[in-house]
Chains A and B, each alone.
Chain A
Amino acid sequence: NAGVTQTPKFQVLKTGQSMTLQCAQDMNHEYMSWYRQDPGMGLRLIHYSVGAGITDQGEVPNGYNVSRSTTEDFPLRLLSAAPSQTSVYFCASSSLPGGSYGYTFGSGTRLTVV
Chain B
Amino acid sequence: AQSVTQLDSQVPVFEEAPVELRCNYSSSVSVYLFWYVQYPNQGLQLLLKYLSGSTLVESINGFEAEFNKSQTSFHLRKPSVHISDTAEYFCAVSVGGGSNYKLTFGKGTLLTVNP
A→B interface (CB under 8 Å):
4, 30-31, 33, 35, 40-45, 48, 50-51, 56, 58-59, 90, 92, 97-100, 102-103, 105-108
Contact = CB atoms under 8 A, between A and B. Distances in A.
Interface in B33-57: 34, 36, 42-46, 49, 51
Nearest to A48: B102
Contact of A102 (B49, B104, B108): B49
A99 B101 contact: yes
A10 to B, nearest CB: 11
A110 to B, nearest CB: 9
A43 B105 contact: yes
A99 B94 contact: yes
A98 B107 contact: no
Contact of B107 (A41, A103, A108): A41
Interface residues on B, range: 20 to 34
Contacts of A35: 105
Contact of A98 (B4, B32, B43): B32
A50 B96 CA distance: 12
A90 B44 contact: yes
Contacts of A50: 99-100
B103 interface: yes
B9 interface: yes
Chain B at the A interface: mostly helix, strand, loop or mixed?
A: strand
Given A99-B34, A100-B51, A42 B99 contact: no
B41 to A, nearest CB: 8
B60 to A, nearest CB: 13
Given A40-B107, A42-B105, A43-B90, A97 B100 contact: yes
A67 to B, nearest CB: 18
Given A42-B106, A43-B90, A107 B43 contact: yes
Contacts of A102: 34, 46, 49
A44 B9 CA distance: 17
Contacts of A31: 101
Of B101, B103, B107, most A-chain CB atoms within 10 Å? B103
